[in-house]
Amino acid sequence: MKIVMLGAPGAGKGTQAKKIAAEYNIPHISTGDIFRANIKNGTELGKRAKAYMDEGKLVPDSLTLELIMDRFAEPDCASGYVLDGFPRTIAQAEALAKSLADKGDKLDFAIDVDVPDEKIVTRMSGRRACAACGGTFHIKYNPTKVEGICDLCGGELMIRDDDKPETVQKRLSVYHEQTQPLIDFYNNAGILMTVDGTQDVDVVFNSIMQILK
């Protein structure tokens, strides 16, 4: 079961990716995790990625793809994986498809967790993070016992810059410009499946299970 997750920032694709991975006992693979693991372990690919990051540059697509394909070659990916956060552009999607095809492989599903922009802005602007321990909450979906105070450590909660409405709108604009075309790409490839991400987390997950089974 080889799956790529699609969806705007805040749509909940990361949450669903973890649930799918747990259900099928396959790894949840995010580019951030791959970068951190390779840098921590001092691999050759990790050193190359770190050199770009230390200079404040984006890691090139070609190197990111090398890291991902290297991860796919590990034994725990033998039964499949859930890829989250890559590809973000058509160029990356085409490069990934070619790299997989060169190994006689391909993706089975592209799952788009679809949520309207206005719902995402409401969702993300309600997030609160603890400045002390990093715990995360939501004023509507996961409120703390005492408003503005972390349930875990008693620290003060704050709105992260990433969750401010104006920042969310900018991120959504970038998503629609760069990543939305992936919907058409995977639809044309015949592997796109779309689920309504506005529903409860478990309802969304059950919809995905119906698709995969």
Could you give the residue numbers annotated as active site? Answer: 13, 88, 127, 160, 171
Question: Are residues 5 and 16 in contact, defined by beta-carbon separation less than 8 angstroms?
Answer: yes
Question: Are residues 212 and 1 in contact, defined by beta-carbon separation less than 8 angstroms?
Answer: yes
Q: Which amino acid is at 207?
A: S
Q: Which amino acid is at 177?
A: E
- Residue 140 has a CB neighbour count (10 Å cut-off) of 9
- CA of residue 18 relative to chain centroid, distance: 10
DSSP calls for 162-207: GGSHHHHHHHHHHIIIIITHHHHHHHHTT-EEEEETTS-HHHHHHH
Q: Distance between CA atoms of 180 and 112, rounded to whole angstroms? A: 10
Q: Distance between CA atoms of 210 and 213, rounded to whole angstroms? A: 5
Rg of the chain on CA atoms, in Å: 18
Task: Copy the structure tokens of residue 34.
Answer: 């791959």
End-to-end alpha carbon distance in the chain: 10
